Structure 1
């Protein structure tokens, strides 16, 4: 049984979730998994390479220079050169919006890029490197016992890439619209001054049970990402059979398509590392909100059911996609 070592910064949010989901899927696919989470703190960041070099020296003394601890390293978000000598093969799972040019310069030292999206596949394919598409998955947040209302939800968290401030400003100009609940980290939130009656801005800690209630209790999830490495909050919205509204640009429109959600065009772009960022068009969003509010419940249910069906099929297929991608690379 091949032994895979998963390496990522254990940041308590997206990357920690990625580690857990990827480990579970690899184990279902028949691999033995070892986790190497990298703790938070600058001291750990500076000392880890030194420690890894000392560890490698000790292992080579005990086992010889041809010994490998793992069949493969799987490095998430950044390439860790100090880990490369421990594995026979080395794979990189990037998020283009956080991939540094220093990572790009190290691509020749890894055996393949494992792409979460077709968008990432095309970006790294252009660099002439071997790319295997694996896709990804997210947590199933569905709770059918929660009563759903024709209200809106926006899960911003710590991210700066979700169009949150522009969304709040737009909603503030429409007091006739239903309640919008925004969950945002205090590190990123700006106070709404003066407060707006139809915006519930949650900047305190929201526990998982309350977050799940909010995800299931709102018919409409506004996920107006500028860019995504994968898009967990979009996919979690689809898992609860919500009507998911996102930006009509890659990779968001790979996940949410018109038969299972709502796409809003953009009117400006930017660059964040290797990714293009897309900024939703406020006039187009206004028109979509008005259209959604006029839709009958049956149409909302149809869109939500289609979204959940896609989520379940994607989740079921993740382990198999990993197996198909990795077996020839490990060979």
Structure 2
């Protein structure tokens, strides 16, 4: 059994979820060490040097997977270095370190050319999220928007659209307290700011038939993928990589315009008009049509989840993945 280390920053949000997901997938076939570094620079440096000293004492890892962030002092601790990046958070100073990676594993097809043009050997693995499905929770014809800690989920335009339409069904927004605004209150808008336990969040995700996710930019799209996992009708941005997860066969796409560059990615803006058009389409769907879209979204999630697990296992075993052909929903061009 080979020794594998997965390393990133433990930020209590997306990176922490990624760390847990990758480590759990690999533990089926490898001895895995999951290392989450804190926010303190001094603490991180001490941890870097501690890991290097440990490698000298106990030997190097067979492979190390760096998630999003690159910690240069740790790269000589493994015989093989792999990077799973989020393009929007990739720093210019990391470009010089890319030759030290054997492969860049891409969560999305969108990321492949971004790293290939930097001279990297890339391999598409896809990615996954936690399966949030709970069939015991009754579905209601209401809308859900999960902003969490991010300021790039299009929350402001969603709220503005709802404020224009007091006749629309209730919208529930879950957002970190520091980002939520007190002037968002309205009869058909419920803003849940502050701490919400995981069981409560899962119940909300399952209780709402429609999830509106007009993300400006994503490295993968956990909130979108989680919405698909519960079989919701998902409304999301018609730009990569958001429309890689959701297409017209399993959700509703919102028109957008390109914005500024962010890292190696680009932000896309969904207007209030586009939200209005998307919600109008959603409200015109019959219950059977909603159920069909939700079933296809969940099926797409399950397919991608299984394919990611197989592809990642193949990378670490050195074998080609047996997943054949293009995934459902992937469009060339």
The equivalent residue for 1:320 is: 310
- 1:94 matched to 2:85? The reply is yes
SS in structure 1 at match of 2:278: helix
For 1:172, which of 140, 163, 170 is the aligned residue?
163
Q: For 2:239 and 2:39, how far apart are their aligned partners in 1?
A: 33
The equivalent residue for 2:210 is: 220
* Alpha-carbon distance, 1:258 to partner: 0.7
Relative to the length of structure 2, the TM-score reads 0.91
> Contact 1:4/1:70 (CA < 8 Å) preserved in 2?
yes
Write the mapping of 1:258-273 to structure 2, written as runs, cut at 5 A.
258-273=248-263
Write the mapping of 1:99-118 to structure 2, written as runs, cut at 5 A.
99-118=90-109
Q: For 2:158 and 2:270, how far apart are their aligned partners in 1?
A: 9
**RMSD (CA atoms):** 1.7
The equivalent residue for 1:138 is: 129
Q: For 1:5 and 1:291, how far apart are their aligned partners in 2?
A: 46
Q: For 1:105 and 1:320, how far apart are their aligned partners in 2?
A: 31
SS in structure 2 at match of 1:228: coil
Q: For 2:278 and 2:49, how far apart are their aligned partners in 1?
A: 54
Q: For 1:183 and 1:209, how far apart are their aligned partners in 2?
A: 14
Q: For 1:266 and 1:86, how far apart are their aligned partners in 2?
A: 44
The equivalent residue for 1:230 is: 220
Q: For 1:175 and 1:288, how far apart are their aligned partners in 2?
A: 16
- 1:12 matched to 2:12? The reply is yes
| Residues 54 and 24 (structure 1), Cα distance of their counterparts in 2 relative to 1, 3 Å cut | closer
The equivalent residue for 1:31 is: 30
Q: For 1:97 and 1:2, how far apart are their aligned partners in 2?
A: 32
Q: For 1:93 and 1:237, how far apart are their aligned partners in 2?
A: 23
SS in structure 2 at match of 1:147: coil
* Alpha-carbon distance, 1:273 to partner: 1.0
For residues 75-96 of structure 1, the C-alpha deviation after alignment (integer angstroms, 9 at most, x for no partner) is: 0111111111111111111001
* Alpha-carbon distance, 1:49 to partner: 3.6
For 2:117, which of 123, 126, 148 is the aligned residue?
126
> Contact 1:70/1:88 (CA < 8 Å) preserved in 2?
yes
* Alpha-carbon distance, 1:47 to partner: 3.2
* Alpha-carbon distance, 1:240 to partner: 0.3
The equivalent residue for 1:208 is: 198
> Contact 2:158/2:275 (CA < 8 Å) preserved in 1?
no
Q: For 1:154 and 1:104, how far apart are their aligned partners in 2?
A: 35
- 1:150 matched to 2:135? The reply is no
Q: For 2:109 and 2:93, how far apart are their aligned partners in 1?
A: 22
Q: For 1:281 and 1:166, how far apart are their aligned partners in 2?
A: 6
> Contact 1:78/1:94 (CA < 8 Å) preserved in 2?
yes
* Alpha-carbon distance, 1:310 to partner: 1.0
- 1:181 matched to 2:180? The reply is no
The equivalent residue for 2:324 is: none
Q: For 2:216 and 2:228, how far apart are their aligned partners in 1?
A: 18
Relative to the length of structure 1, the TM-score reads 0.92
* Alpha-carbon distance, 1:31 to partner: 2.3
Q: For 2:258 and 2:306, how far apart are their aligned partners in 1?
A: 36
Question: How many residue pairs were aligned?
Answer: 320
SS in structure 2 at match of 1:106: helix
| Residues 110 and 16 (structure 1), Cα distance of their counterparts in 2 relative to 1, 3 Å cut | same
For 2:73, which of 78, 82, 86 is the aligned residue?
82
> Contact 1:148/1:218 (CA < 8 Å) preserved in 2?
yes
The equivalent residue for 2:242 is: 252
- 1:305 matched to 2:265? The reply is no
For residues 204-253 of structure 1, the C-alpha deviation after alignment (integer angstroms, 9 at most, x for no partner) is: 21111111111000010011111111111101100000001100000011
The equivalent residue for 2:325 is: none
The equivalent residue for 2:276 is: 286
- In structure 2, stretches of 5+ residues that fail to align are 321-333
> Contact 1:152/1:219 (CA < 8 Å) preserved in 2?
yes
* Alpha-carbon distance, 1:122 to partner: 1.5
